[in-house]
Amino acid sequence: MPAGNLIQIEENIFSDKNENKWELQPNNKNLFHQPSGVFTGEMLRDIETPYSILNNPPEIDFEYPNIKLLCIQEDGSSFEAILRPNNEYVITGKIRGTYNYASPNGFWGALKHTILDVIPHFICSDYK
């Protein structure tokens, strides 16, 4: 998980207090980490500043209220952090962030990610 507040250092790259870099992912790479059921604006009105642990946070998208951050490692693997608008990380359940054996970036990365990370999640999502 990211440590502390996240400071924007590039367009979609944030740094935590341990200087780990976290890349904000687009919604099309975040489909499996959304809450089930309809999420209406009414449910999120109590949150004055969504994702306020990020300086320069993205605007909330009510179809994709959870945002996904990746910390890519030198070997191409990555850690996912799924952030709710109220600044809580999703750490349990099927929509939590996971460890990726393959980076989902690029064509070959997306293919390897699908084979090594996504398909096994559908086969058995009950893992630590």
pTM equals 0.84
* 93 lies in some domain: yes
Which residue from 30, 31, 62 is spatially nearest to 45, judged by alpha carbons? 62
**DSSP state string for 51-82:** TTTBSSPPPPBTTB-SEEEEEE-TTS-EEEEE
For 59, the domain range is: 7-123
Q: Give CA–CA dist 50/56, Å, rounded.
A: 11
Query: What's residue 41's pLDDT?
Result: 55
**Could you report the per-residue pLDDT of 80-109, keeping only the tens digit for each?**
999 999 999 999 888 888 888 887 778 888
* 82 lies in some domain: yes
* 2 lies in some domain: no
* 1 lies in some domain: no
**Could you report the per-residue pLDDT of 11-52, keeping only the tens digit for each?**
999 999 999 999 999 988 888 888 876 555 556 667 888 999
* 128 lies in some domain: no
* 101 lies in some domain: yes
* 102 lies in some domain: yes
Distances (CA, A) of 101 to 22, 43, 46, 75, 111: 16, 35, 37, 9, 12
Q: Give CA–CA dist 1/87, Å, rounded.
A: 12
* 61 lies in some domain: yes
What domain count does the chain have?
1
Token code pair at residue 21: 């870099």
